[in-house]
Amino acid sequence: MANERWGVYTEEAPKTWAQGLFEQSATKKHRLGTVRKLDDGREFIYCLDSGSGISAGLLIAAAITTPTHEDTVTVAHPVGTKIVTVTASGATAHQFQDGWLVITDGGGAGECYKIKDNDAADGSDLVRVQLYEPIETLWVTATTDVDLYPNPCNGVYVNPADAQQKPIAVAQRPVTASKYFWGQKSGLGAMKINVLAAGGLELDEKVLKADAVTAGWAALLGSPANTDVTGVAEVVGVLVKEEDVTDDTTSLVNIKL
């Protein structure tokens, strides 16, 4: 059942979907960030690749989020407005589709709205932004500050090796550059594991974090060769394989993202 207020679109199987679970599309078939839940407990999230492609089994990082900020809006809007005008130099059409508008200061400060779509910036750097819900506080040109955020699923890429952020999904099939696809966020699925110098570690019921050496891979929590980010490690899953492993491997994991 759709829930536009919270930006989560979860459906229980069975359901007819516009895009198959392991299909890729050059055109958008669902809202970015749509969550698809299967009856076996697996969950997938709808994403757009950044343009680099992603190999199967790799952790996927959310798009780098750089908000567009307008310090005091130039156009006032009354309560109930659903199409607002924001200054956003260089903004392209659909850049903030399925993203968020946050009022950071002044009239309406603290309010957050889901963005349905946006036009490209005009000659005066003004952008028309369509919201799913109307604004509830008057925008004041002297005080209201606004930030526009793209959807984190818009332009995802291989999780970097700094391991200091929590990935949002795992690719279960190779992803072609700039295609829309479903990444797995929970349940049983494949994940690449970097055993590093800790040869012989047993992989039964071991907690995994994002690897700090190889981009897109996971590593055993507490691995001797991977302790540089122990204090900020984010759990990405739990291995279900019971076997001593002496080399890098792909394994079945209970994904927890």
Q: Are residues 92 and 144 in the same domain?
A: yes
Q: Are residues 72 and 138 in the same domain?
A: yes
Q: Express each pLDDT in 213-243 by its tens digit.
A: 889 998 877 654 454 444 456 789 988 876 6
Q: Express each pLDDT in 168-197 by its tens digit.
A: 999 999 999 999 999 999 999 999 988 765
- Domain with 106, as residue range(s), is 68-149
Q: Are residues 19 and 120 in the same domain?
A: no
Q: Express each pLDDT in 9-58 by its tens digit.
A: 444 445 689 999 999 999 999 999 999 999 999 999 999 999 999 999 99
Count of all residues that appear for the chain in the document: 257
SS (H, E, C) the chain: CEECCCCEEEEECCCCCCCCCCCCECCCCCCCCCEEECCCCCEEEEEEECCCCECCCCEEECCCCCCEEECCCCCCECCCCCEEEEECCCCCCCCCCCCEEEEEECCCCCCEEEEEEECCCCCCCEEEEEECCCCCCCECCCCCEEEEECCCCEEEEECCCCCCCCCCEECCCCECCCCEEEEEEEEEEEEEECCCCCCCEEEEEEEEEECCCCCCCEEECCCCCCCCCHHHCCEEEEEEEEEEECCCEEEEEEEEC
57, 170 contact by CB (below 8 A): yes
Q: Are residues 164 and 179 in the same domain?
A: yes
> For position 3, what pLDDT does the model report?
37
Q: Are residues 141 and 82 in the same domain?
A: yes
What's the rounded mean pLDDT across residues 244-254? Answer: 78
> For position 22, what pLDDT does the model report?
97
Q: Is the pLDDT of residue 144 over 70?
A: yes
Q: Is the pLDDT of residue 7 over 50?
A: no
Q: Are residues 73 and 136 in the same domain?
A: yes
> For position 5, what pLDDT does the model report?
35
> For position 164, what pLDDT does the model report?
74
Q: How confident is the model at residue 201 (pLDDT cuts 50, 70, 90)?
A: low
Give pTM, 2 decimals. 0.83
Q: Which residues contact 196 (CB under 8 A, 6 or more apart)?
A: 213, 219, 223, 224, 225, 226
- In the chain, pLDDT over 90 holds for what percent of residues? 66
Average of per-residue pLDDT values in the chain: 86
Last residue of a domain, one of 98, 132, 149: 149
> For position 8, what pLDDT does the model report?
42
Q: Are residues 145 and 83 in the same domain?
A: yes
Q: Express each pLDDT in 48-100 by its tens digit.
A: 999 999 999 999 999 877 789 998 899 999 999 999 999 999 999 999 999 99
Last residue of a domain, one of 187, 209, 244: 187
38, 12 contact by CB (below 8 A): no
